[in-house]
Amino acid sequence: MRAISAGGVAPLPTQQPLEQGFWNAAVPSLCVVPFQQHTGSRLHSLVKPGELVREGMVVAESDSRLAVPIHAPIPGRVATVGQTTLLDGTTSGAIAIELDGEFDRLGKNPEPRPWRDLSPEALLEVIRSAGVVCGPRASVPAHMHLRRSRQSHPPVLMLDVAETEPYMSADAEIVAEDGAGIVEGLEIIAAILGTDRIHAAVAGGFSRAHRAIRAARGDVAIALHRLPHRYPANSEYHLRRVVGLRGGADDAVDLVVVSPSTVEAIRDAVLYGKPQIDRVIAVGGGAVQRPAHIRVRLGTSIAEVLQECGGLLEEPARIIAGGTLTGRLVQNINAPVTKTMSAIVALTEAEVRGGEEEPCIGCGGCVRACPVSINPSLLNDLILDGRHREAEAAGVFDCTECGLCAHVCPSRIPLVDRIRDGKRSLSGGHS
């Protein structure tokens, strides 16, 4: 592993402001739930076409304890069990459910379940059964993330509200709207991990989230840190320094980083038995009529999410799922929302730096920007030449796909896409 430098850029490119808070999007008439919801998931359907399903019912399960089940986001009738095309054009097994029948959960406010007497193993099984997947970055089942981390005691737990990439603001909104719920979720996770070392890092610009945690933490000892609004602010390197882990013996201490959306899903699973069937998404970009945050059912199409925000003002030049630096280009606007999708951004022509890719001018901007001290320009050349083993030796797997190199490149070279291609080739076609 190469040394990690400060790297990063500040300030970031401007983004269109989004409305504060969030509302519940209209329940879609059709939900398409892909089996592919996290790295390595292998599921099989438990339902058949024509079958009626209840809201929150398990519809697909895996034989492996490493994978999580998926649940019906809406009550209804199974229309198909087959394939769907995901946002990047790849396919996945999927179940399509047409809305029908009654809601078990919508508008209901069940009594919270007492959880403090449950063992860590029992809590982890509740979380697995609820299908909770960490996101937006990690894309691993939450019970695996927390179980693996329990091997080093006592770990440090970190709530990450320092996602500063443009449009990745849904997590900060979750905290701002329900600080008390997030604090209780952190208590649950701390009990699983067997630690009382709880921290929260909040980037500048998320003042409402900062105030919400400060007001809600009460007797819970949460060390609250305010981070500068630069990108990236929440790399593991930065967060370890924030909590005082600075090498040497500290390297043996595990830092368990959780996002507010993951904490919320864990809290809802443990307290209310609610499976992960919805999530809060930031919807923005100059082509969107009403940029805002909304809570949507998983399986809702990206097109319907945009429609919920008033539709499009103009034909977008590009739609991105995720932030504008590291997000994925949407190639299928009818693709469904998945558990780790936290933003949908529809950019106008003026917002997309137009023009064709041009040759590298050797300015070195990408090298200076890279926070993990690798040479993106060199990697680009090696991958284009098919010299993947040399790219591996040059550190292609150290790349965190933060997107800074492509962002600063005056020649508009899609450096991150190239690096992803290189990783995929070295991994035998699997990214």
Q: Under the rule (CB under 6 A), what is the footprint of ligand SF4?
A: 360-366, 369-372, 374, 376-377, 399-405, 408-411, 413, 415-416, 419
Smallest separation (angstroms) from ligand SF4 to the CB of 411: 4
Nearer to ligand SF4, 253 or 378 (CB): 378
Nearer to ligand SF4, 59 or 408 (CB): 408
Smallest separation (angstroms) from ligand SF4 to the CB of 418: 10
Adjacency order of strands within the sheet including 22-24:
22-24, 292-297, 278-284, 343-347, 318-321, 328-329
Nearest Cα to 51, choosing from 96, 1, 115? Answer: 96
Q: Strand, coil or helix: what is 401?
A: coil
Smallest separation (angstroms) from ligand SF4 to the CB of 317: 21
Residue type for 150, please? R
CB 128 within 8 A of CB 65: yes
Nearer to ligand SF4, 188 or 402 (CB): 402
Smallest separation (angstroms) from ligand SF4 to the CB of 2: 10
Q: Which residue has the tokens 């300015």?
A: 363
d(CA 222, CA 98): 44
Nearer to ligand SF4, 128 or 137 (CB): 137
CB 223 within 8 A of CB 253: no
Distances (CA, A) of 281 to 147, 315, 326, 346: 27, 21, 16, 13
Nearer to ligand SF4, 197 or 418 (CB): 418
Smallest separation (angstroms) from ligand SF4 to the CB of 352: 17
Nearer to ligand SF4, 161 or 408 (CB): 408
Smallest separation (angstroms) from ligand SF4 to the CB of 194: 33
Nearest Cα to 187, choosing from 123, 129, 274? Answer: 123
- Give residue 162's region: left, alpha or beta (phi > 0; psi -120 to 50): alpha
Residue type for 237, please? Y
